[in-house]
Amino acid sequence: MSVVAFAQLLLPDSPYAMWVRGELGEYLRLPDDGTRVEVVGGEIVVSPAPVVTHAVFLAHIERGFGRAGDADADFPWRALQAVGLDLVETGDGYVPDLVVVDAAVEERALAGDIGSLYAHDIAMAVEVTSSSNARHDRRPMFGRQVRSTKWNGYARTGVPYYLLVDRDPRQPGVTLFGEPNKAEATYEVLGEWKFGESVRLPEPFGVEIGTDAWKPWSA
C-alpha cells in the first residue's frame, strides 16, 4: 500500500528539493524494485511497483496513440510512461503513469538526456488507479479529504488535460478532465466512459482507446 510521510519526518532538505535532485528515494532507503516516490501536496508518497495489469492498461492507451500516428504521418502526439514531472509552481514532484507530449519534446529527449518534464511540456497526464494510491489520483472529496491530490496539482499548474482510469470496483470508469482553473486548482469534466466502451478523446488528440477487456481490480 502507499505510505504518506508527514512533516514530522526529519529530512536534510525539503522533500521537493530532494526529489528534484534524485536523492529522496535513496535517503528513504527504498528498494530498487519499481517502488515510486512522489511529493504530492508537499507530502512524500511512496507506492509499490504497479501490478502487471496496470501496465497492460497503459499499453492499451499507448497503442491508441500509436494507431493514430500510423494513420497520420503528421500526428504530433507521443505517449511516454513513468517520467518525472517537476511541478515547480507547487513544489511537488510526480511520476505520472503516462504523459502525452508533442513530438518536439521527444526530439529534445533524443538530442540529449532530460531529467524531468515540466507542466508546460505535457498536453495530458494519465493515471490508472490502484488500490494502494487511488485517493492520490482522484479529485478530493471536499469535506472529507482536505489534502491536495494529483488532480489538483495538474490543474493548478495548467496541464491542459487529465485522463483518469479508475479501476476501483465501486466506481470503475474513465474520466477526461480539462479546462484547468489554475487559481482554484480544479478541472471540468469533459467526458466519461464505462469499462467496455470506446474512449474517444476529442481534438486535439482524436484518439480512440478500446476498453473491452478492462476490469476493476480484485476486491
What secondary structure, in 3-state letters, does the chain show? CCEEECCCCCCCCCHHHHHHCCCHHHHCCCCCCCCEEEEECCEEEEECCCCHHHHHHHHHHHHHHHHHHHHCCCCCEEEEECCCEEECCCCEEECCCEEEEEHHHHHHHHHCCCCCEEHHHEEEEEEECCCCCHHHHCCCCCCCCCCCCHHHHHHHCCCCEEEEEECCCCCCEEEEEEEEECCCCEEEEEEEECCCCCEEECCCCCEEECCCCCCCCCC
For residue 129, give the nearest of 51, 33, 202 by alpha carbon: 51
Instruction: Write out pLDDT tens, residues 187-202.
Output: 999 999 999 999 999 9
Mean pLDDT score of the chain: 92
* Residues forming a β-bridge with 3: 46
Question: Is the model's pLDDT at 98 over the cut of 70?
Answer: yes
Superfamily grouping for domain 51-209: tt1808, chain A (3.90.1570.10)
Task: Please state the rounded mean pLDDT for residues 127-146.
Answer: 83
pLDDT at position 212: 95
Name the more confident of 147 and 215: 215
pLDDT of residue 34: 87
Structure confidence at residue 146 as a pLDDT band (50, 70, 90): low
User: Identity (one letter) of the amino acid at 53?
Assistant: T
Q: Which residue ranges does the chain devote to CATH 3.90.1570.10? A: 51-209
1 — pLDDT class (breaks 50, 70, 90): very low
Q: What is the pLDDT of residue 5?
A: 46
Answer yes or no: is pLDDT of 2 > 70: no
